[in-house]
């Protein structure tokens, strides 16, 4: 009986940690996805494809900006990158777009600032472009045209991965006029609501999984174990080892996108280096399920190349951020990321959660009222590749 009670208490402790982190970041998630939905409402995927046709520095900069504007869960980002590649985008530009759409987005930065601190958000948004530069250089030196042709032939087979329909949907406002006018029109409100709800539907499993795993690790794994793994007591070695081992931990966690941030908070409290946190968060695109999707999309050889090149550039970017921030005196000195047990009190977090839950309810109501529910059933179904059309034509936009 005591063992059963102990096990039950440990489970309650894990759930309490998960609940506490959920309550802490809820308003930030809603804000981030609402901002993302507003941006996507005025950014057309057709325009994205047109702009990503080569591998010039200008094109890769555009791919980075469009990716950051086109926030996606990792699975949808991977599917959209293949769609862009099949429709004429260069492979390098498609991969840059894929990385930016999960690692350089507003909601990720907000949640990182909230749980980890502003230095981590700054590190992510400096390290991300650095990794893109490193990746472009690696692709230029090591990626051969024969392998790209092989990957294109495999991509044309159209084997299914995950979130195929969500990646293909283009719900942006197609009318002319200034961005603000388009965004504040009934069509813009509807498009924002559609992106908001569809993005939540795509990513909630990752967020929930990340919070539950983070809660379990916080409750069950002693700090001494993490400190041993991350060589915390070996100051110089830890700075190098953190960015090397960070992606490996991410690969084995099976959690991607924003779900990585609660895990990163646990790792930081456990002793991983600053650069290790950055490389860990970057590695959402090489977790084992996504590596299998790369194999299906592009073939085994290209999947192996992507894993090796992504891993190497994630480590390089993490190391660069580690030593850059140390040189500038910006590395945090305390390890007090917000990994707390559930506690709801009348503080600013509670007030913000109430305000943004009202906003979320308004967007969900708009989505349902304008006929959006059938779109949820289409998220995993590939759309007609012969047409570039929105998910349902916005026939209800005047509502």
Residue 84 CA to residue 74 CA, distance in Å, equals 15
Residue 197 counted as domain residue: yes
Residue 123 CA to residue 129 CA, distance in Å, equals 10
Which segment of 134-138, 181-185, 304-308, 340-344 scores lowest on mean pLDDT? 340-344
Task: Give how far Cα 76 sits from Cα of 25, 82, 162, Å.
Answer: 23, 10, 7
Q: Tens digits of per-residue pLDDT, 297-353? A: 999 999 999 999 999 999 999 999 999 999 999 999 888 877 655 566 777 778 888
For residues 58 and 345, the model is more confident at: 58
Highest-scoring range by mean pLDDT, 77-81, 166-170, 378-382: 77-81
Nearest 5°: CA angle at 60, between 92 and 146?
Answer: 20
The DSSP result for 216-250, as a single string, is HHHHHS-HHHHHHHTTTTSHHHHHHHHHHHHHHHH
Residue 391 counted as domain residue: no
Residue 260 counted as domain residue: yes
pLDDT > 90 in the chain, percent: 35
Q: Tens digits of per-residue pLDDT, 120-131? A: 999 999 999 999
Extract the tokens encoding 55.
């591998």
Q: Tell me phi and psi for residue 332, to 5 degrees.
A: -60, 145
Q: What is the pLDDT of residue 163?
A: 57
Residue 266 counted as domain residue: yes
Q: What is the pLDDT of residue 394?
A: 46
Q: Tens digits of per-residue pLDDT, 223-255? A: 788 889 999 888 889 999 999 999 999 888 766
CB hemisphere CA count around 233 (13 angstroms): 7
What length is written for the chain?
399
The count of structural domains within the chain is 1
Residue 249 counted as domain residue: yes
* pTM confidence score: 0.77
Which segment of 72-76, 144-148, 221-225, 370-374 scores lowest on mean pLDDT? 72-76
pLDDT > 70 in the chain, percent: 80
Which segment of 133-137, 227-231, 236-240, 257-261 scores lowest on mean pLDDT? 257-261
Q: What is the pLDDT of residue 243?
A: 96
Residue 82 CA to residue 156 CA, distance in Å, equals 9
Q: What is the pLDDT of residue 128?
A: 95
Q: Tens digits of per-residue pLDDT, 263-288? A: 888 899 889 999 999 999 999 899 88
Residue 54 counted as domain residue: yes
CB atoms within 10 A of CB 127: 29
Dihedral sign, Cα of residue 211, residue 330, residue 62, residue 86: negative
Residue 392 counted as domain residue: no
Residue 127 CA to residue 148 CA, distance in Å, equals 27
Q: Tens digits of per-residue pLDDT, 188-231? A: 888 888 888 887 777 777 778 777 887 787 778 887 888 899 99
Instruction: Map tokens 């759409």 to a residue.
Output: 101
Residue 162, domain extent: 14-335+353-376
Packing angle between helix 260-270 and helix 186-220, nearest 10 degrees?
30
Residue 71 CA to residue 89 CA, distance in Å, equals 18
Residue 161 counted as domain residue: yes
Q: Tell me phi and psi for residue 109, to 5 degrees.
A: -60, -40
């Amino acid at each position: 009986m005591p063992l059963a009670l102990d096990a039950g208490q440990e489970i309650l402790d894990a759930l309490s940690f998960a609940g506490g982190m959920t309550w802490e970041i809820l308003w930030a998630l809603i804000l981030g996805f609402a901002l993302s939905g507003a941006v996507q409402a005025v950014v057309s995927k057709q325009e994205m494809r047109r702009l990503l046709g080569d591998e010039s520095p200008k094109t890769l900069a555009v791919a980075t900006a469009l990716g950051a504007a086109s926030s996606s869960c990792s699975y949808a980002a991977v599917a959209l990158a293949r769609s862009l590649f099949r429709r004429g985008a260069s492979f390098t530009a498609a991969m840059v777009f894929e990385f930016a759409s999960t690692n350089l987005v507003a909601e990720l930065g907000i949640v990182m600032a909230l749980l980890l601190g502003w230095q981590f958000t700054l590190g992510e948004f400096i390290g991300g472009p650095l990794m893109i530069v490193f990746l472009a250089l690696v692709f230029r030196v090591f990626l051969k045209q024969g392998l790209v042709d092989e990957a294109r032939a495999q991509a044309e087979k159209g084997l299914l991965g995950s979130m195929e329909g969500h990646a293909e949907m283009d719900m942006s406002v197609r009318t002319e006029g200034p961005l603000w006018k388009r965004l504040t029109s009934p069509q813009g409100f509807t498009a924002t609501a559609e992106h908001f709800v569809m993005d939540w539907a795509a990513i909630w499993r990752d967020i929930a999984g990340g919070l539950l795993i983070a809660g379990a690790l916080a409750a069950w794994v002693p700090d001494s174990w993490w400190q041993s793994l991350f060589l915390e007591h070996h100051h110089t070695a830890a700075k190098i080892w953190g960015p090397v081992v960070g992606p490996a931990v991410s690969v084995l966690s099976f959690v991607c996108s924003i779900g990585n941030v609660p895990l990163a908070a646990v790792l930081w409290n456990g002793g991983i280096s600053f650069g290790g946190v950055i490389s860990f968060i970057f590695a959402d695109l090489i977790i084992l399920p996504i590596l299998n999707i790369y194999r299906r999309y592009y073939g085994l050889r290209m999947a192996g190349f992507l894993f090796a090149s992504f891993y190497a550039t994630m480590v390089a970017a993490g190391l660069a951020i580690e030593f850059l921030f140390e040189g500038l005196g910006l590395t945090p000195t305390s390890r007090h990321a917000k990994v707390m047990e559930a506690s709801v009190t009348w503080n600013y977090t509670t007030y913000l959660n109430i305000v943004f839950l009202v906003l979320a309810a308004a967007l969900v109501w708009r989505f349902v009222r304008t006929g959006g529910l059938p779109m949820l059933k289409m998220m995993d179904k590939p759309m007609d590749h012969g047409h570039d059309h929105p998910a349902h034509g916005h026939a209800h936009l005047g509502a």
